[in-house]
Structure 1
């Protein structure tokens, strides 16, 4: 017999900021309910409808939002929550940005075509033109600022988590690099266009953005204003480059990895996995992929999906691999591992509560976007120092995607919703 239940709960507002975070948190709630409930049964589906979210108190100072979920189930044990329909039925609200940037997004599966080419056919074979007119790059705007940094005790390679958690002491220190604005561009072609750009990539003069909301990649050349779209069968989330024309993206809830030729717009191969997918990075002919829900594993696999080894790394989501170092982020921490899973260093600061994507440069400096503070954080000296290299004054608004072109020393950052992307030249001081 099917019974309905009604749940009332408080939850931190930033955990409902995006579809992906909302789905992950609701999944965790479902698992907790099934784990501690009384009764037994088989693994049948539990479905839930999330009623409209009501913000508690002032948006800018609100710490939590109250939600009501109604659900029906045929079993009460071990059943994951099914939330696929939520993306199509309800809006979600950002309750952590200041009031100027808070808005309700209408979720839609509308497929957009090229804003520059009206006769281009739809479908997964949408082609990106290589014959595009040249356009001058915007004038640079140099920035070099003395940043506040923090210092933690020097650690050896074998150290406990308690030692990592020791208090940090603020000190004045120069960030070892400075950035100069090379180009600002926009991939949002109209004010009425809704998007959710979670990741970005630069391959040569081609920029690639994952639009989770509209199930597509957004393609833009650095020297032209035309924007093209590659429709996908699933919702892309994280991205990594494989070669000069190929990228791999993870589709978190769909559990697929897509290998895509960005020149032709073709999905050349699809890898099905066993669980939800998060961060992905390509290194030394292998894909490093984060798989799982609450507790995740790192799967190292080849391009056919054959798993070579696994690493238990906890609750990480975003990753990048460079020079035998695996840098991983959670919402509030940055961890650096050796490729065998050995923890080398860890960074955490109470200022940063919504770390999103991570990348490194050629010298091992770690760059991370934080949506709560609208900053790009750089961590260096094996996690002992840090500083904000980009802030809201650089027009960052919910910065999500970040990538470093190691051949040209260019840092790429994109905002999640307004379509703005920025290219910065990065130089040593």
Structure 2
């Protein structure tokens, strides 16, 4: 370095080029299209199936979810006042005590879950800390609460008069006056629910505007609903013993599972986006499916 006078010469050149980004709206539309997928490419592969112990006169598995550690948490509405935890292989881990018979549940974060009881005796919603099985908070919405789902630090709860949206602390942010059944499914900008009286599946915006309605003649008593990464809607029907998928645009539907596949009174359904698996609970127990 002491003997070298110079290592090179530095120069700057200005080059004019054209980039195909003159229409920003088209670029945004292309991104949204990539977020959707035709149901013709949807397939389920059975991963595992296991029985759930019956602790009451009936076994009615009305709620299910997957914990961050991969374990499964199930609500038996006619069982004991507990949530039942299993691992992915179907091994019973523990029972988590509740104040009453749990109807539905959702994961809030790595430590907490929210539980509904679907009656006018217990508190409407409870936040449970699953590590030590303690009640962190009770939330009263002055209504019977059924299905519940947590997304983007908000809780979506089905009540008697529609859907309530709260923050993660249980403070009511908005109430949507809609006619819906007990189950609910959401994406980043949509809320999906069923109406059994007219055999329809509805999709609305987060502010309540109707996006689409799909009439499904095969639906007799829909009891569970969830949404995949491409906004395709999955619904289980407890009376027709079926699982159907409705395309994101509402134009078509396919029956994925039926009674011939072993479905008996399916009640609840959950899709885990991290693991790309479905958890389905029916009268016999639970099954995990890989989404193909």
- Within a 5 Å distance, the mapping from 1:388-399 to structure 2 comes to 388-399=255-266
Unpaired segments ≥5 residues, structure 2 = 1-37
Partner-residue secondary structure (3-state), 2:147: strand
1:358 maps onto 2:220 in alignment: no
Q: Kindly tell me: are residues 216 and 381 of structure 1, through their superposed partners in 2, closer, same or farther at Cα, counting changes over 3 Å?
A: same
- 1:299: which partner in 2? 164
1:189 Cα deviation (Å)? Answer: 6.2
Distance of 1:174 and 1:343 partners within structure 2: 22
- Within a 5 Å distance, the mapping from 1:119-158 to structure 2 comes to none
Distance of 1:174 and 1:317 partners within structure 2: 25
- Within a 5 Å distance, the mapping from 1:42-61 to structure 2 comes to none
- Within a 5 Å distance, the mapping from 1:142-181 to structure 2 comes to 175-181=40-46
Distance of 2:258 and 2:118 partners within structure 1: 29
Question: Which of these residues, 231, 235, 243, is aligned with residue 109 of structure 2?
Answer: 243
Q: Kindly tell me: are residues 308 and 424 of structure 1, through their superposed partners in 2, closer, same or farther at Cα, counting changes over 3 Å?
A: same
Distance of 1:184 and 1:336 partners within structure 2: 31
1:299 Cα deviation (Å)? Answer: 1.4
Q: Kindly tell me: are residues 174 and 258 of structure 1, through their superposed partners in 2, closer, same or farther at Cα, counting changes over 3 Å?
A: closer
Would you say the 8 A contact 1:257–1:272 is kept in 2? yes
Distance of 2:158 and 2:54 partners within structure 1: 33
The count of residues paired between Structure 1 and Structure 2 equals 249
- 1:318: which partner in 2? 183
* Worse overlay, 350-359 or 236-245: 236-245
TM-score computed with the length of structure 2 as normaliser: 0.79
**1:322-349 Cα shifts (integer Å, max 9, x gaps):** 1211111122221000101000011122
Distance of 1:226 and 1:236 partners within structure 2: 18
RMSD: 2.0
Partner-residue secondary structure (3-state), 2:95: strand
TM-score computed with the length of structure 1 as normaliser: 0.55
- Within a 5 Å distance, the mapping from 1:13-412 to structure 2 comes to 175-188=40-53, 194-203=58-67, 204-213=69-78, 214-223=80-89, 225-254=91-120, 255-292=123-160, 296-331=161-196, 332-412=199-279
Larger radius of gyration: 2
1:377 Cα deviation (Å)? Answer: 0.9
1:269 Cα deviation (Å)? Answer: 1.6
1:268 Cα deviation (Å)? Answer: 2.0
Would you say the 8 A contact 1:205–1:223 is kept in 2? no
Distance of 1:345 and 1:189 partners within structure 2: 39
Distance of 2:57 and 2:146 partners within structure 1: 26
Q: Per chain length, whose mean CA-contact separation is higher, i.e. which structure has more relative contact order (CA < 8 Å, sep 6+)?
A: 2
Q: Kindly tell me: are residues 389 and 263 of structure 1, through their superposed partners in 2, closer, same or farther at Cα, counting changes over 3 Å?
A: farther
Distance of 1:226 and 1:316 partners within structure 2: 31
1:251 Cα deviation (Å)? Answer: 1.2
1:265 Cα deviation (Å)? Answer: 2.4
